Amino acid sequence: MIASVIDTARWTAYYRALESERSDAIFRDPYARKLAGKRAEDVVRRIPRARASSWGIVLRTVVIDQKILDAVQTQQVDTVLNLACGLDTRPFRLPLPSTLAWIEVDLPEVIAYKGSILTNDRVACRLESIGMDLSDSDARRRLFAHVDGTAHRVLVVSEGFLLYLSANTVAALARDLHAFPRFSYWMTDVTSPLLLRLDQVFGRPVQRWVSPMRFAPRDNRAFFEPYGWTIRDFRPLAVEGERLHREPPFARLLRAGRIVLRGKWRDAFRDSSGVLLLERSSQPAPVLPGGIRRHTTGTLLKLRHRHRGESKESIEEYRMEYTGWNPLVPALELLAVILVIGAAIVIGRRLRQRG
């Protein structure tokens, strides 16, 4: 049913169209409906509970809108580089300065489709659309060098992109971006292992038709800092959903978790997904033998190295310690989810009995 990347982009545009057509819409995208087309509507209608996943797309759209405008107005950003842009319409619909350079990149077929639909629409800024495969690391670096040579301060946006990449691929992208000194900020949406598991439970009907999420670091700071990116701001979508009245289908579970749990578990529920704004630091963390980076906190990874290479054990230990992965964590998180669900059921029964 989802036959191509363009279909996924249409699906996202359709969610933006639904939000825009609400009487209480939190943003307006007048181009979303024609970009989505009838095919996106047919796909969403056929997939059970497909509309239930729209909350994240709607919230990340409005948060990223706000953060882009803030960066342009207060941080002297003169260039936005939108990676894997899909059918994004911000250069058309946001009140951007005409001097701003907006460079959007995606697969050639996505760029061609979008251009054919919006060919007669007016942009607010200087728009350059580039069709290329971002998995081609050499072409990617050439693009980054071109942008770095023409800009003063660049904001990179990777909305809905990193979630579907492996941790190694994200790390390589982070290194490439940091290599260019005018790339000052990087904005992306992130999720956590906890939400990944909740999505696997609540979103199974949808997962049959789309690529599964893969990138869900336990600690965003620990992941990005070794590659020269520090956290400037984080906007949890759960908090934004409550504020803007656009909550996920498992919102009651999240609220129950914040009531029942304490400390880091409560924070994990609150910060299970969000929009992350990273700022370029002067230098990435130092590199250990074998090309493995050390955390900027100074904690050394205890790696066992063979002569002229690393053992399989050292690579696994690196994965566990550096990314925060631990074989006990999935079991503990599953237990926490079960306890929270049970608590929510008990609380609901007691409230009904009182009523």
pLDDT digits (tens, 9 = 90+) for 1-21: 445 678 889 989 999 999 999
Both 309 and 210 in one domain: the answer is no
Q: From residue 122, how far is each of 43, 93, 110 by CA, in Å? A: 29, 9, 19
**Residue labelled with tokens 């205890």:** 302
Both 110 and 206 in one domain: the answer is yes
Token duo for residue 194: 């906890």
b/e burial code for range 188-215 (CB count within 10 A of at least 16 → b): bbbbbbbbbbbbeebbeebeeebeebeb
- Any bridge partners for residue 102, and if so which? 80, 127
Percent of residues, the chain, with pLDDT higher than 70? 66
Cα separation of 239 and 81, whole Å?
A: 27
- How far does the chain reach from its first CA to its final CA, in angstroms? 45
Give the end of a domain, one of 280, 297, 328. 280
Who has greater pLDDT, 75 or 335? Answer: 75
pLDDT confidence of residue 4: 67
Predicted structure pTM score: 0.78
Residue 165 structural domain: 52-280
Look at strands 229-236 and 273-280 and give their pairing.
Answer: antiparallel
Both 266 and 310 in one domain: the answer is no
Both 118 and 213 in one domain: the answer is yes
Look at strands 305-306 and 273-280 and give their pairing.
Answer: unpaired
Which CATH number characterizes residue 165's domain? 3.40.50.150
Both 269 and 132 in one domain: the answer is yes
